[in-house]
Amino acid sequence: MKIAVIGSGYVGLVTGACFADLGVDVVCVDHDEDKVRRLRAGEVPIYEPGLDSLIEQAVANERLAFTTDLDSAVAGRSIVFIAVGTPSAEDGSADLGHVLDAARAIGRAIDGFTVVVDKSTVPVGTADRVAEALRGELAARGADHGFAVVSNPEFLKEGAAIGDFMRPDRVVLGLPPGEDGVRARALLDDLYAPLTRNHHRTLYMDVRSAELTKYAANAMLATRISFMNELANLADAVGADIESVRQGIGSDSRIGYDFLYAGTGYGGSCFPKDIRALCETGRRHGVTLGVIAAVEEANARQKTVLTRKIVQRLGEDLSGLRFALWGLAFKPNTDDMRDAPSREIVRELLRRGATVAAWDPVALDEARHAFARDLAGRPQWLARLRYADSADAALQGADALVIGACPKFCV
């Protein structure tokens, strides 16, 4: 089988590399010429354990290729995944510009029946807009090639994405009605067969239900995180041990232990923007999502917890004090700095006059870029932020240690 993946970001690269490892002929498309050049040279632009070796092997076996030429990549491919970014717009909704651009480009390139798969996280109704874009381009060409737009959301945890892909809890396929949906299901069943052969993990549903499933899953996980963070704050206030509480409630089979760890708040590429997008979808349809809105508010407060504790202990003015900070990415085993709590922590420490020595085992390069943007208008603050090349080096001369999203071996 031959497939194309539009977008060589986190989801696109993991999807392409994993399918190639399963023997599928995959071409990944990206408009960024420099990224494609780097990928061809064996440079993987993101950190994900095991991904670089997976890509290297697939390229060597000629099952994975990278290109900027979408037309040639899509031609002759029975399945095309759209795996481009859907960042937050100013109103909190998902910006579908990249998705619809990809759909139009696919419509100009397909040369036969094609299954177009929305792998990007998109709001309910996006498949209809993708189909409309495809029909428009096909009509402009005078072509009558059939197609089916399918929603196949990803459920990948950064730091464990390859395992999540290769051993999925479930594969969700949102299929259009009619004969086109039947043809799409057959092709996708064949594609996913190596992952679902031993256990029936495929859930078939209508397209809109599949689109909502992705947001609902992320909202539930984010809710568990914010719930536990608020309980941790209460445990601090009343003198309880939050880890004992976690054990006490997690042992209930109705609750479980996953995503019940207290911390400095969630971040990354999914939860923050997806929670905002889901709330905006509710507003547009006149539905109040009070619980989910509260999750976002609780998370924003949680990002200030560590600095509030520091101020309570050391005072409002931190001038002359030096802080070591372990853990910069939003979670361990990733270099993703998007909405990372460390960005709030560092900014507040610098605002109060402190000096910060920051360290992370994998995210230092991304952190440099992130803080350069955050502090672009504050050169005097930026001058008090330095990056250490080891955990021990960050501690040298420190008055206090702040532990953020840090691997367990650090502590």
Output the six-digit token pair for 243.
């880890």
Tally helices (H) and strands (E) across the chain. Answer: 17, 12
> How far is it, in rounded angstroms, from Cα 123 to Cα 91?
14
270 catalytic per annotation: yes
> How far is it, in rounded angstroms, from Cα 327 to Cα 212?
33
CA 312 to chain centre: 34
Helix (H/G/I), strand (E/B), else coil: 130: helix
CA 111 to chain centre: 32
Q: What is the CA radius of gyration of the chain?
A: 23
Cβ contact 401:323 at 8 Å = yes
Burial class (CB in 10 A: 0-12, 13-18, 19+), 314: middle
- Residues constituting the chain: 411
Beta-bridged to residue 82, according to DSSP, are: 6, 118
Helix (H/G/I), strand (E/B), else coil: 240: coil
> How far is it, in rounded angstroms, from Cα 52 to Cα 38?
12
> How far is it, in rounded angstroms, from Cα 288 to Cα 282?
6
Output the six-digit token pair for 360.
């992370």
Catalytic residue among 28, 270, 279, 406: 270
Q: What residue type is 330 in one-letter code? A: F
Single out the residue of 71, 73, 69, 72 nearest to residue 16, CA to CA. 73
CB atoms within 10 A of CB 387: 18
Name the helix (H) or strand (E) containing 5.
strand 2-6
| DSSP per-residue letters across 41-58 | TT--SS--TTHHHHHHHH
> How far is it, in rounded angstroms, from Cα 397 to Cα 354?
13
Cβ contact 343:309 at 8 Å = no
- Opening angle at CA 10, ends 8 and 11, nearest 5: 85
Catalytic positions: 270
